[in-house]
Structure 1
Protein backbone atom coordinates (compact mmCIF):
# COMPACT_ATOMS: atom_id res chain seq x y z
CA UNK A 1 0.00 0.00 0.00
CA UNK A 2 1.54 3.30 -1.12
CA UNK A 3 1.54 5.89 1.70
CA UNK A 4 2.56 8.85 -0.47
CA UNK A 5 -0.15 11.49 -1.05
CA UNK A 6 1.36 12.06 -4.52
CA UNK A 7 0.49 8.54 -5.61
CA UNK A 8 -2.73 8.31 -7.70
CA UNK A 9 -3.85 5.24 -5.78
CA UNK A 10 -3.53 7.21 -2.54
CA UNK A 11 -5.89 9.86 -3.92
CA UNK A 12 -8.40 7.22 -4.94
CA UNK A 13 -8.34 5.60 -1.51
CA UNK A 14 -8.79 8.99 0.12
CA UNK A 15 -11.84 9.79 -1.99
CA UNK A 16 -13.34 6.41 -1.13
CA UNK A 17 -12.63 7.02 2.56
CA UNK A 18 -14.32 10.42 2.44
CA UNK A 19 -17.45 8.88 0.95
CA UNK A 20 -17.47 6.20 3.64
CA UNK A 21 -16.79 8.61 6.50
CA UNK A 22 -19.48 11.03 5.34
CA UNK A 23 -21.98 8.29 6.02
CA UNK A 24 -20.98 7.79 9.65
CA UNK A 25 -22.95 9.25 12.53
CA UNK A 26 -21.62 12.67 13.52
CA UNK A 27 -19.94 13.35 10.17
CA UNK A 28 -22.01 16.45 9.45
CA UNK A 29 -21.87 17.99 12.89
CA UNK A 30 -23.68 17.49 16.14
CA UNK A 31 -22.90 17.84 19.81
CA UNK A 32 -19.66 16.98 21.56
CA UNK A 33 -20.47 13.27 21.83
CA UNK A 34 -21.45 13.03 18.17
CA UNK A 35 -18.28 14.64 16.86
CA UNK A 36 -16.11 12.76 19.34
CA UNK A 37 -17.52 9.44 18.13
CA UNK A 38 -16.87 10.41 14.52
CA UNK A 39 -13.24 11.43 15.12
CA UNK A 40 -12.59 8.17 16.95
CA UNK A 41 -14.18 6.25 14.07
CA UNK A 42 -11.94 7.94 11.48
CA UNK A 43 -8.79 6.47 13.03
CA UNK A 44 -10.27 3.20 14.25
CA UNK A 45 -11.62 2.30 10.78
CA UNK A 46 -8.58 3.50 8.80
CA UNK A 47 -6.90 0.10 8.88
CA UNK A 48 -3.46 1.71 9.13
CA UNK A 49 -3.92 3.55 5.82
CA UNK A 50 -3.18 7.30 6.11
CA UNK A 51 -5.23 7.86 2.96
CA UNK A 52 -8.28 7.03 5.08
CA UNK A 53 -7.59 10.04 7.35
CA UNK A 54 -8.80 13.00 5.24
CA UNK A 55 -6.53 15.61 6.86
CA UNK A 56 -3.34 13.50 7.02
CA UNK A 57 -0.84 15.07 4.60
CA UNK A 58 2.13 13.11 6.03
CA UNK A 59 4.05 16.38 6.10
CA UNK A 60 4.02 19.50 8.24
CA UNK A 61 1.99 22.43 6.94
CA UNK A 62 4.17 24.78 4.85
CA UNK A 63 2.72 27.84 6.60
CA UNK A 64 3.73 26.38 9.96
CA UNK A 65 7.26 25.68 8.72
CA UNK A 66 7.54 29.23 7.37
CA UNK A 67 6.43 30.68 10.70
CA UNK A 68 8.76 28.45 12.70
CA UNK A 69 11.73 29.53 10.58
CA UNK A 70 11.24 33.04 12.00
CA UNK A 71 10.08 31.96 15.46
CA UNK A 72 12.28 29.13 16.79
CA UNK A 73 11.65 27.61 20.18
CA UNK A 74 14.85 28.30 22.04
CA UNK A 75 16.54 24.92 21.71
CA UNK A 76 17.87 22.48 24.29
CA UNK A 77 19.29 25.08 26.68
CA UNK A 78 16.11 27.09 27.15
CA UNK A 79 13.24 25.49 25.22
CA UNK A 80 9.87 27.17 25.06
CA UNK A 81 6.90 24.91 25.74
CA UNK A 82 4.61 24.22 22.77
CA UNK A 83 1.28 22.42 22.54
CA UNK A 84 -0.06 20.98 19.29
CA UNK A 85 -3.87 20.80 19.37
CA UNK A 86 -5.46 17.87 17.55
CA UNK A 87 -2.11 16.51 16.43
CA UNK A 88 -3.39 13.63 14.28
CA UNK A 89 -0.50 11.60 12.89
CA UNK A 90 2.13 13.96 14.31
CA UNK A 91 3.77 15.82 11.42
CA UNK A 92 3.13 19.32 12.75
CA UNK A 93 4.19 18.31 16.26
CA UNK A 94 7.48 16.98 14.91
CA UNK A 95 8.07 20.30 13.14
CA UNK A 96 7.55 22.16 16.41
CA UNK A 97 10.05 19.90 18.17
CA UNK A 98 12.56 20.27 15.32
CA UNK A 99 12.29 24.04 15.70
CA UNK A 100 13.48 23.80 19.31
CA UNK A 101 10.21 23.67 21.25
CA UNK A 102 9.61 21.27 24.14
CA UNK A 103 6.50 19.89 22.51
CA UNK A 104 3.39 18.22 23.85
CA UNK A 105 0.91 16.99 21.25
CA UNK A 106 -2.55 15.65 21.89
CA UNK A 107 -5.49 14.24 20.03
CA UNK A 108 -8.94 13.20 21.14
CA UNK A 109 -8.47 9.81 19.45
CA UNK A 110 -6.10 7.45 21.25
CA UNK A 111 -5.70 5.53 17.96
CA UNK A 112 -4.21 8.68 16.42
CA UNK A 113 -1.73 8.97 19.29
CA UNK A 114 -0.68 5.33 18.94
CA UNK A 115 -0.19 5.87 15.21
CA UNK A 116 1.91 9.01 15.71
CA UNK A 117 4.14 7.21 18.20
CA UNK A 118 4.64 4.36 15.72
CA UNK A 119 5.55 6.78 12.95
CA UNK A 120 8.08 8.65 15.10
CA UNK A 121 9.47 6.10 17.58
CA UNK A 122 12.52 8.24 18.46
CA UNK A 123 10.53 11.43 18.89
CA UNK A 124 11.04 13.90 21.73
CA UNK A 125 7.37 14.91 21.46
CA UNK A 126 5.16 13.98 24.40
CA UNK A 127 2.17 12.46 22.59
CA UNK A 128 -0.95 11.92 24.64
CA UNK A 129 -4.69 11.38 24.26
CA UNK A 130 -6.65 14.31 25.69
CA UNK A 131 -9.77 16.38 25.18
CA UNK A 132 -9.54 20.10 24.36
CA UNK A 133 -12.63 20.70 26.49
CA UNK A 134 -11.32 18.75 29.49
CA UNK A 135 -7.51 19.00 29.43
CA UNK A 136 -5.15 18.10 32.28
CA UNK A 137 -5.22 20.83 34.91
CA UNK A 138 -1.46 21.31 34.55
CA UNK A 139 -1.94 22.50 30.96
CA UNK A 140 -4.00 25.55 31.87
CA UNK A 141 -1.88 28.66 31.37
CA UNK A 142 1.22 26.55 30.75
CA UNK A 143 2.34 26.92 27.13
CA UNK A 144 4.51 29.51 25.40
CA UNK A 145 3.09 28.45 22.03
CA UNK A 146 -0.23 26.81 21.24
CA UNK A 147 -0.59 25.62 17.66
CA UNK A 148 -4.10 25.00 16.33
CA UNK A 149 -4.42 23.75 12.75
CA UNK A 150 -7.84 22.86 11.31
CA UNK A 151 -9.46 21.99 14.64
CA UNK A 152 -11.75 25.01 14.97
CA UNK A 153 -12.96 24.58 11.39
CA UNK A 154 -13.94 20.97 12.16
CA UNK A 155 -16.46 22.18 14.78
CA UNK A 156 -19.73 24.03 14.39
CA UNK A 157 -22.34 25.77 16.48
CA UNK A 158 -22.05 25.70 20.26
CA UNK A 159 -19.11 23.32 20.16
CA UNK A 160 -17.13 25.73 18.01
CA UNK A 161 -18.01 28.67 20.25
CA UNK A 162 -16.73 26.74 23.27
CA UNK A 163 -13.47 25.89 21.50
CA UNK A 164 -12.24 29.50 21.45
CA UNK A 165 -11.94 29.92 25.24
CA UNK A 166 -10.87 26.29 25.62
CA UNK A 167 -7.90 26.98 23.35
CA UNK A 168 -7.02 30.42 24.72
CA UNK A 169 -6.82 29.25 28.34
CA UNK A 170 -3.85 27.00 27.52
CA UNK A 171 -1.54 29.99 26.93
CA UNK A 172 0.99 31.12 29.49
CA UNK A 173 1.49 34.86 30.09
CA UNK A 174 3.36 36.18 27.07
CA UNK A 175 2.48 33.00 25.14
CA UNK A 176 1.44 32.98 21.50
CA UNK A 177 -1.43 31.21 19.78
CA UNK A 178 -0.81 30.23 16.15
CA UNK A 179 -3.94 29.44 14.10
CA UNK A 180 -4.01 27.92 10.61
CA UNK A 181 -7.50 27.63 9.15
CA UNK A 182 -9.55 27.66 6.01
CA UNK A 183 -11.48 30.90 5.68
CA UNK A 184 -14.66 32.05 4.01
CA UNK A 185 -16.07 35.44 3.06
CA UNK A 186 -17.81 37.37 5.80
CA UNK A 187 -21.50 36.56 6.11
CA UNK A 188 -21.44 33.49 3.85
CA UNK A 189 -22.74 30.07 4.78
CA UNK A 190 -20.62 26.93 4.98
CA UNK A 191 -21.85 23.43 4.18
CA UNK A 192 -19.33 21.54 6.26
CA UNK A 193 -17.39 19.90 7.45
CA UNK A 194 -15.15 21.67 7.39
CA UNK A 195 -16.78 24.96 8.29
CA UNK A 196 -14.13 27.57 7.31
CA UNK A 197 -13.81 30.50 9.69
CA UNK A 198 -14.96 33.97 8.79
CA UNK A 199 -12.32 36.64 9.54
CA UNK A 200 -14.56 38.17 12.20
CA UNK A 201 -14.68 34.91 14.14
CA UNK A 202 -11.01 35.25 14.98
CA UNK A 203 -11.77 38.45 16.88
CA UNK A 204 -13.21 36.16 19.53
CA UNK A 205 -9.66 35.63 20.78
CA UNK A 206 -9.28 39.38 21.28
CA UNK A 207 -12.53 39.41 23.25
CA UNK A 208 -10.92 36.76 25.44
CA UNK A 209 -8.04 39.10 26.25
CA UNK A 210 -5.45 38.12 23.66
CA UNK A 211 -3.62 40.63 21.49
CA UNK A 212 -3.68 40.21 17.73
CA UNK A 213 -0.15 39.95 16.34
CA UNK A 214 -0.83 38.76 12.79
CA UNK A 215 -3.73 37.89 10.49
CA UNK A 216 -2.43 36.90 7.07
CA UNK A 217 -4.64 35.51 4.28
CA UNK A 218 -3.15 32.93 1.93
CA UNK A 219 -4.38 30.39 -0.60
CA UNK A 220 -3.78 26.69 -1.17
CA UNK A 221 -4.50 24.80 -4.38
CA UNK A 222 -6.06 21.35 -4.49
CA UNK A 223 -6.33 20.36 -8.12
CA UNK A 224 -8.47 23.03 -9.76
CA UNK A 225 -9.70 24.41 -6.44
CA UNK A 226 -8.23 27.47 -4.77
CA UNK A 227 -8.93 27.36 -1.03
CA UNK A 228 -8.66 30.58 1.02
CA UNK A 229 -6.87 30.30 4.35
CA UNK A 230 -5.78 32.56 7.21
CA UNK A 231 -2.71 32.36 9.40
CA UNK A 232 -3.35 34.25 12.62
CA UNK A 233 -1.20 34.83 15.68
CA UNK A 234 -2.42 36.10 19.04
CA UNK A 235 -0.48 36.80 22.24
CA UNK A 236 -1.50 36.70 25.88
CA UNK A 237 -0.24 39.82 27.65
CA UNK A 238 2.48 39.30 30.28
Structure 2
Protein backbone atom coordinates (compact mmCIF):
# COMPACT_ATOMS: atom_id res chain seq x y z
CA UNK A 1 0.00 0.00 0.00
CA UNK A 2 1.27 3.48 -0.83
CA UNK A 3 2.00 5.89 2.00
CA UNK A 4 -1.35 7.00 3.43
CA UNK A 5 -2.43 9.10 6.36
CA UNK A 6 -3.24 7.19 9.55
CA UNK A 7 -4.38 10.33 11.35
CA UNK A 8 -8.16 9.97 11.87
CA UNK A 9 -8.49 13.76 11.93
CA UNK A 10 -6.90 14.27 8.52
CA UNK A 11 -9.02 15.07 5.44
CA UNK A 12 -7.43 12.14 3.59
CA UNK A 13 -8.39 9.64 6.29
CA UNK A 14 -11.89 11.10 6.45
CA UNK A 15 -12.31 10.82 2.69
CA UNK A 16 -11.20 7.18 2.64
CA UNK A 17 -13.62 6.41 5.46
CA UNK A 18 -16.53 8.07 3.65
CA UNK A 19 -15.74 6.15 0.47
CA UNK A 20 -15.58 2.86 2.36
CA UNK A 21 -18.74 3.61 4.34
CA UNK A 22 -20.73 4.13 1.16
CA UNK A 23 -19.56 0.82 -0.28
CA UNK A 24 -20.15 -1.04 3.00
CA UNK A 25 -23.66 0.34 3.40
CA UNK A 26 -24.50 -1.09 -0.01
CA UNK A 27 -23.46 -4.54 1.30
CA UNK A 28 -25.25 -4.32 4.64
CA UNK A 29 -28.56 -6.22 4.72
CA UNK A 30 -29.70 -3.97 7.57
CA UNK A 31 -29.42 -0.94 5.27
CA UNK A 32 -30.01 -2.40 1.82
CA UNK A 33 -33.71 -3.10 1.23
CA UNK A 34 -32.95 -5.56 -1.53
CA UNK A 35 -30.83 -7.67 0.81
CA UNK A 36 -33.10 -7.74 3.85
CA UNK A 37 -34.76 -10.96 2.80
CA UNK A 38 -31.62 -12.86 3.75
CA UNK A 39 -30.91 -10.95 6.95
CA UNK A 40 -32.83 -13.48 9.07
CA UNK A 41 -30.18 -16.08 8.24
CA UNK A 42 -27.42 -13.85 9.67
CA UNK A 43 -28.91 -11.81 12.54
CA UNK A 44 -25.48 -10.84 13.89
CA UNK A 45 -24.47 -9.58 10.42
CA UNK A 46 -21.36 -11.73 10.71
CA UNK A 47 -20.87 -11.84 6.94
CA UNK A 48 -21.00 -8.06 6.77
CA UNK A 49 -18.54 -7.55 9.62
CA UNK A 50 -16.17 -10.04 8.03
CA UNK A 51 -16.50 -8.14 4.74
CA UNK A 52 -15.55 -4.90 6.50
CA UNK A 53 -12.20 -6.29 7.58
CA UNK A 54 -11.55 -8.19 4.37
CA UNK A 55 -12.16 -5.09 2.25
CA UNK A 56 -10.12 -2.84 4.55
CA UNK A 57 -6.80 -4.32 3.35
CA UNK A 58 -5.06 -3.11 6.53
CA UNK A 59 -6.35 0.46 6.14
CA UNK A 60 -8.11 1.43 9.42
CA UNK A 61 -9.90 4.29 7.66
CA UNK A 62 -11.99 1.60 5.96
CA UNK A 63 -13.19 0.21 9.29
CA UNK A 64 -15.90 2.71 10.30
CA UNK A 65 -15.40 2.33 14.08
CA UNK A 66 -11.58 2.19 14.08
CA UNK A 67 -10.27 5.53 15.35
CA UNK A 68 -6.87 4.20 16.50
CA UNK A 69 -7.47 5.47 20.04
CA UNK A 70 -9.66 4.49 22.98
CA UNK A 71 -13.16 5.90 22.91
CA UNK A 72 -13.00 9.28 24.70
CA UNK A 73 -15.74 8.31 27.16
CA UNK A 74 -14.00 5.05 28.02
CA UNK A 75 -10.62 6.74 28.38
CA UNK A 76 -12.02 9.45 30.64
CA UNK A 77 -13.83 6.93 32.83
CA UNK A 78 -10.74 4.77 33.25
CA UNK A 79 -8.66 7.84 34.09
CA UNK A 80 -11.14 8.97 36.73
CA UNK A 81 -11.08 5.77 38.78
CA UNK A 82 -9.66 7.00 42.08
CA UNK A 83 -9.28 3.49 43.45
CA UNK A 84 -7.98 2.29 40.13
CA UNK A 85 -8.68 -0.88 38.22
CA UNK A 86 -5.23 -2.42 38.59
CA UNK A 87 -5.47 -6.15 39.07
CA UNK A 88 -9.13 -6.39 38.11
CA UNK A 89 -10.07 -9.13 35.69
CA UNK A 90 -11.74 -7.31 32.80
CA UNK A 91 -13.57 -8.35 29.62
CA UNK A 92 -13.70 -6.08 26.56
CA UNK A 93 -16.66 -6.95 24.32
CA UNK A 94 -16.37 -6.40 20.56
CA UNK A 95 -12.75 -5.29 20.79
CA UNK A 96 -12.20 -4.37 17.13
CA UNK A 97 -8.62 -3.19 16.67
CA UNK A 98 -7.91 -3.24 20.39
CA UNK A 99 -7.68 0.38 21.54
CA UNK A 100 -10.19 0.12 24.39
CA UNK A 101 -8.73 -3.18 25.58
CA UNK A 102 -5.26 -1.65 25.64
CA UNK A 103 -6.58 1.34 27.59
CA UNK A 104 -7.86 -1.00 30.29
CA UNK A 105 -4.62 -2.98 30.26
CA UNK A 106 -2.50 0.16 30.61
CA UNK A 107 -4.49 0.97 33.74
CA UNK A 108 -3.44 -2.38 35.17
CA UNK A 109 -6.44 -4.59 34.47
CA UNK A 110 -5.99 -8.22 33.43
CA UNK A 111 -7.87 -8.02 30.15
CA UNK A 112 -9.53 -10.58 27.95
CA UNK A 113 -10.87 -9.07 24.72
CA UNK A 114 -12.92 -10.69 21.98
CA UNK A 115 -14.46 -9.88 18.65
CA UNK A 116 -16.86 -11.72 16.37
CA UNK A 117 -14.38 -11.47 13.47
CA UNK A 118 -11.08 -13.37 13.56
CA UNK A 119 -9.46 -10.82 11.23
CA UNK A 120 -10.12 -8.03 13.74
CA UNK A 121 -8.47 -10.03 16.50
CA UNK A 122 -5.41 -10.77 14.38
CA UNK A 123 -5.15 -7.10 13.39
CA UNK A 124 -5.27 -6.06 17.06
CA UNK A 125 -2.48 -8.51 17.85
CA UNK A 126 -0.34 -7.05 15.06
CA UNK A 127 -0.92 -3.52 16.29
CA UNK A 128 0.07 -4.39 19.85
CA UNK A 129 2.73 -7.12 19.56
CA UNK A 130 3.82 -6.74 23.22
CA UNK A 131 0.33 -6.64 24.64
CA UNK A 132 -0.74 -8.29 27.86
CA UNK A 133 -4.32 -8.56 26.56
CA UNK A 134 -5.65 -12.01 25.82
CA UNK A 135 -7.26 -11.43 22.41
CA UNK A 136 -9.70 -14.03 21.14
CA UNK A 137 -12.32 -14.50 18.45
CA UNK A 138 -15.68 -15.10 20.07
CA UNK A 139 -19.43 -14.73 19.91
CA UNK A 140 -21.28 -12.79 22.63
CA UNK A 141 -24.18 -15.23 22.27
CA UNK A 142 -22.00 -18.35 22.58
CA UNK A 143 -19.26 -17.47 25.10
CA UNK A 144 -16.93 -19.93 26.81
CA UNK A 145 -18.52 -21.47 29.89
CA UNK A 146 -15.60 -20.41 32.09
CA UNK A 147 -16.41 -16.73 31.51
CA UNK A 148 -19.58 -16.97 33.59
CA UNK A 149 -19.29 -14.95 36.79
CA UNK A 150 -15.56 -14.33 36.29
CA UNK A 151 -15.06 -10.63 35.53
CA UNK A 152 -14.88 -7.69 37.91
CA UNK A 153 -15.29 -5.30 34.98
CA UNK A 154 -17.03 -5.83 31.66
CA UNK A 155 -16.64 -3.07 29.06
CA UNK A 156 -19.09 -2.78 26.17
CA UNK A 157 -18.56 0.03 23.65
CA UNK A 158 -20.74 0.16 20.52
CA UNK A 159 -21.66 -3.52 20.48
CA UNK A 160 -25.24 -3.18 21.76
CA UNK A 161 -25.98 -0.42 19.26
CA UNK A 162 -24.88 -2.71 16.43
CA UNK A 163 -27.58 -5.25 17.35
CA UNK A 164 -31.18 -5.17 16.20
CA UNK A 165 -33.78 -4.61 18.95
CA UNK A 166 -34.89 -8.28 19.23
CA UNK A 167 -31.33 -9.30 20.16
CA UNK A 168 -30.86 -6.76 22.97
CA UNK A 169 -32.51 -8.69 25.85
CA UNK A 170 -30.34 -11.75 25.21
CA UNK A 171 -27.23 -9.57 24.79
CA UNK A 172 -27.86 -7.87 28.15
CA UNK A 173 -28.42 -11.24 29.80
CA UNK A 174 -25.09 -12.48 28.46
CA UNK A 175 -23.29 -9.35 29.66
CA UNK A 176 -24.84 -9.78 33.09
CA UNK A 177 -23.73 -13.41 33.25
CA UNK A 178 -20.06 -12.42 32.94
CA UNK A 179 -20.04 -10.37 36.14
CA UNK A 180 -18.35 -11.71 39.23
CA UNK A 181 -19.82 -10.82 42.64
CA UNK A 182 -19.37 -7.07 42.97
CA UNK A 183 -18.59 -6.77 39.27
CA UNK A 184 -19.51 -3.79 37.11
CA UNK A 185 -20.59 -3.39 33.49
CA UNK A 186 -19.57 -0.20 31.67
CA UNK A 187 -21.70 0.65 28.63
CA UNK A 188 -20.74 3.33 26.09
CA UNK A 189 -23.26 3.81 23.29
CA UNK A 190 -24.99 6.37 21.15
CA UNK A 191 -28.23 7.59 22.72
CA UNK A 192 -31.62 8.69 21.45
CA UNK A 193 -34.94 9.76 22.89
CA UNK A 194 -37.50 7.05 23.52
CA UNK A 195 -39.73 8.15 20.67
CA UNK A 196 -37.01 9.26 18.28
CA UNK A 197 -36.74 7.45 14.98
CA UNK A 198 -33.99 4.82 15.14
CA UNK A 199 -32.31 4.71 11.77
CA UNK A 200 -29.39 2.39 11.57
CA UNK A 201 -27.32 0.47 12.00
CA UNK A 202 -25.94 1.56 14.31
CA UNK A 203 -29.14 1.94 16.29
CA UNK A 204 -28.75 4.51 19.13
CA UNK A 205 -30.15 3.16 22.39
CA UNK A 206 -33.27 4.65 24.02
CA UNK A 207 -33.69 5.15 27.80
CA UNK A 208 -35.75 1.94 27.99
CA UNK A 209 -32.54 -0.03 27.47
CA UNK A 210 -31.95 0.41 31.20
CA UNK A 211 -35.40 -0.93 32.04
CA UNK A 212 -34.58 -3.97 29.93
CA UNK A 213 -31.22 -4.26 31.71
CA UNK A 214 -33.09 -4.60 35.01
CA UNK A 215 -35.15 -7.43 33.55
CA UNK A 216 -31.90 -9.15 32.55
CA UNK A 217 -30.30 -9.10 36.00
CA UNK A 218 -28.61 -5.69 35.99
CA UNK A 219 -29.20 -2.53 37.97
CA UNK A 220 -27.99 0.95 36.98
CA UNK A 221 -25.42 2.44 39.34
CA UNK A 222 -24.89 5.60 37.30
CA UNK A 223 -26.32 6.77 33.97
CA UNK A 224 -24.75 9.72 32.19
CA UNK A 225 -26.68 11.30 29.33
CA UNK A 226 -23.88 13.09 27.47
CA UNK A 227 -24.69 15.65 24.81
CA UNK A 228 -22.51 16.04 21.72
CA UNK A 229 -19.09 17.57 22.36
CA UNK A 230 -15.98 18.19 20.28
CA UNK A 231 -14.68 14.76 21.34
CA UNK A 232 -18.01 12.95 21.03
CA UNK A 233 -19.95 14.21 18.06
CA UNK A 234 -23.31 12.69 19.05
CA UNK A 235 -25.39 12.21 22.15
CA UNK A 236 -24.17 9.20 24.16
CA UNK A 237 -24.90 7.10 27.19
CA UNK A 238 -22.13 6.20 29.58
CA UNK A 239 -23.63 3.89 32.15
CA UNK A 240 -22.26 1.75 34.94
CA UNK A 241 -24.38 -1.24 35.97
CA UNK A 242 -24.03 -3.87 38.63
CA UNK A 243 -25.66 -7.20 39.41
CA UNK A 244 -29.29 -6.82 40.42
CA UNK A 245 -28.94 -9.58 43.03
CA UNK A 246 -26.55 -7.48 45.12
CA UNK A 247 -27.44 -4.73 47.62
Q: TM-score, normalised by structure 2?
A: 0.89
Equivalence for 2:110: 102
Equivalence for 1:15: 18
CA separation in 2, counterparts of 1:235 and 1:226? 28
Tell me, yes or no, if structure 1 residue 50 matches structure 2 residue 54.
no
| Structure 1 spans left out of the alignment, 5+ residues | none
Q: Mean Cα displacement is larger for which, 61-70 or 51-60?
A: 61-70
- Relative to structure 1, the CA distance from residue 73 to residue 226 in structure 2 (aligned partners, 3 Å threshold; closer, same or farther) is closer
CA separation in 1, counterparts of 2:42 and 2:139? 12
Equivalence for 2:165: 157
1:70-81 equivalences in 2 (<5 Å): 70-71=80-81, 72-74=84-86, 79-81=87-89
CA separation in 2, counterparts of 1:203 and 1:57? 31
- Once the 2 structures are TM-superposed, how far is the Cα of residue 104 of structure 1 from its aligned partner? 0.4
| Local SS of the residue matching 2:234 | strand
- Once the 2 structures are TM-superposed, how far is the Cα of residue 36 of structure 1 from its aligned partner? 1.1
Contact 2:85/2:107 (<8 A) preserved = yes
Contact 1:31/1:159 (<8 A) preserved = no
Contact 1:21/1:27 (<8 A) preserved = no
Cα displacement string for residues 34-63 of structure 1 (whole angstroms, at most 9, x for unaligned residues) = 511111111111110000000111101121
1:36-47 equivalences in 2 (<5 Å): 36-47=46-57
| Local SS of the residue matching 2:56 | coil
Q: TM-score, normalised by structure 1?
A: 0.92
Tell me, yes or no, if structure 1 residue 64 matches structure 2 residue 67.
no
- Once the 2 structures are TM-superposed, how far is the Cα of residue 126 of structure 1 from its aligned partner? 0.4
Q: Mean Cα displacement is larger for which, 47-56 or 202-211?
A: 202-211
CA separation in 2, counterparts of 1:40 and 1:219? 32
CA separation in 1, counterparts of 2:123 and 2:162? 21
CA separation in 1, counterparts of 2:226 and 2:131? 31
Equivalence for 2:8: 5
Contact 2:169/2:216 (<8 A) preserved = no
Q: Mean Cα displacement is larger for which, 97-106 or 32-41?
A: 32-41
Equivalence for 2:145: 137
Equivalence for 1:198: 206
Tell me, yes or no, if structure 1 residue 33 matches structure 2 residue 46.
no
| Local SS of the residue matching 2:66 | coil
Paired residue for 1:24, among 1, 6, 27? Answer: 27
Contact 2:221/2:242 (<8 A) preserved = yes
For this pair of structures, how many residues does the alignment match?
233
CA separation in 1, counterparts of 2:26 and 2:124? 26
Q: Mean Cα displacement is larger for which, 57-66 or 106-115?
A: 57-66
Contact 2:30/2:200 (<8 A) preserved = no
- Once the 2 structures are TM-superposed, how far is the Cα of residue 222 of structure 1 from its aligned partner? 7.0
